[in-house]
Chain A
Amino acid sequence: MKCEDCLSLLEEYGDAELHDRDALRVKAHLALCLTCDEAYAALQQEQQLYAHYQRDLEVTAALWQGVQASLKREAAQPDFEQPAGMAQRLRRFFGETFHAPRFSLALAALLVVIAVGATVLVMKVVNQNSNPAMQASGNIHTTSSASSPHRNTAPSSEDKALAGGTGNSNEPPNSAPEQKNNAVNPPDKNHYAVKQDAPQMIPIRNESTPRQTPLAKVAASKPRSTAEELVRDAEQKYVQAIALLQRDFDQRRSKLDPKLVAKLDASLASIDRTIAETRKAVHQNSDDPIALQYLLTAYAKKVEVLKDVTAN
């Protein structure tokens, strides 16, 4: 090694940032070259001098108190994002996703209706060869939301839009699988579920039916309101649609750019976590309209992502 080369690597050598091979070469050169060794000694002396630099700073209790006071002040403000709490985390997630962190119940219901409509279309296409009774299970049934127990005030313009937009089907809500399935199946309460390796809906036994959703449990345990029925139906539809779309995505996975697949997987995992968290929230407090709307919006987001992937 030449002195010039050694000197150019000397700082990195002193910083222990050289690769082993270069470090050994420098070390060997320093052992033989007095000039370079002196330069290195000077560098070390310089470093020693800096090591004794004192700033005369004092860390007082007032510093922490200042931080604490700022945090308390911010906590008192409505926009402050505390690190704790599921509600805050959910709000942050949806805030980032939709740039509209707060939805009214009516708006959420409207979103659900739109998303479910799209889902039903997908399912109809998929179920073209299924029997008529099964196709009927893909229909959406809605009633006026005005009867929702969550609505104690005069309906807003969004409420009115929702009431007008959903239509008034005279058919009973299709959200209770027992009711609709009893019409075509034996009374063993078979449910319809998506079979992973086939495009059509097939009847399967209770044991293999996707586990009962929190909303379904809510519905089973107490009298349902129209809004509850709506969201419960929607959840069932989302679960089915997601299973179909996920299967398509899995089939196309190998043809897609691996980086894109990785990103999509990360996004879907993030949405799944949100769904799991909101499920938990709904389970803990089944009357919480915010939790319900977040749950459904998370489903809608997953459907949207999967649809985008499978459509392209």
Chain B
Amino acid sequence: MHGRIMDAYRLVSQQDGRAGMLMNSSQELIARVRGGDEEAFRLIFDRYIRPVISFIYDMTGQRDLAEELAQETFVRAYRGIQSLKDETKLSTWLFGIAKNVAREALRSRLRENHKVEMENDSVMELSDTELLPDGRLLNKELNRVIHEALATLDQDRRAVFTLKVFHQRSYEEIAAITGFSIPKLKTDLHRARAEMRRRIQPYLGVGYEV
């Protein structure tokens, strides 16, 4: 019994559509929030905070900043929930807000000449040198390499790459979130993959060129 409940909960936390069949659908939650139900907004927060904060972290590279910006994302979402036209696309809408919030933060940091600390030399060292994999790919070192490799991508490519590779968003959804055209996001994604591949090459078992 408990196992079944947990299975249901796992399904709920995966996608809007299936969630609707098992628990509060996004549409229901949005309607409740619009009616002033704070608890419904709490449910939306619980459902989406993890992907949202991950996405912002990938974009900014800083944990504290990601937490702060994730909060800002949900505050803006609450404020603007009346403007959400398609209630079936709640997560896409939230990612769109998160992308804007992250971009604004990065822009203001650049303006203040506080370079985002993601950019450091260790990534270059890794890609160029003798730090060969020792057989344990999925370790902290690899996480660090990916994290730092992400930092070398420009913002557009980073957003597209993160949304596709880490969040499995469709091209259509990425276009809705970023505002990019499909051809642009395809190009960005291809280039981002190539750049990332170059960074993580030592950790891949097979060397190849695509």
Contact = CB atoms under 8 A, between A and B. Distances in A.
B54 A55 contact: yes
Nearest to A72: B38
Interface of A: 7, 10-12, 15, 17, 38-39, 41-43, 45-47, 49-50, 52-57, 59, 63-64, 66-68, 70-71, 74, 80-85, 89, 92
A83 B210 contact: no
B143 A46 contact: no
A81 B79 contact: yes
Given A43-B210, A46-B204, A64 B82 contact: no
Contact of B75 (A56, A74, A83): A74
Contacts of A53: 142-143, 146-147, 166
A162 to B, nearest CB: 33
B53 interface: yes
For the side of the interface on B, what is the size category? 35 or more
Chain A at the B interface: SS class: helix
Interface string B193-210: 100010010011110101
A17 B206 contact: no
Nearest to B207: A42
Interface in B26-59: 33-36, 38, 42, 45-46, 49-50, 53-54, 57-58
A50 B82 contact: no
B200 A46 contact: yes
B71 A49 contact: no
A107 B75 CA distance: 35
27 contacts: A7-B210, A10-B210, A11-B189, A38-B208, A42-B204, A46-B200, A49-B203, A50-B165, A50-B166, A53-B166, A55-B57, A55-B147, A56-B63, A57-B63, A63-B53, A63-B71, A64-B49, A66-B67, A71-B75, A74-B75, A81-B82, A82-B36, A83-B35, A83-B81, A84-B35, A84-B36, A92-B82
Contacts of A17: 170-171
Given A38-B206, A53-B166, 13 more contacts: A11-B193, A17-B170, A38-B208, A49-B137, A56-B63, A57-B50, A57-B57, A59-B49, A59-B53, A63-B49, A67-B71, A68-B38, A84-B36
B86 to A, nearest CB: 15
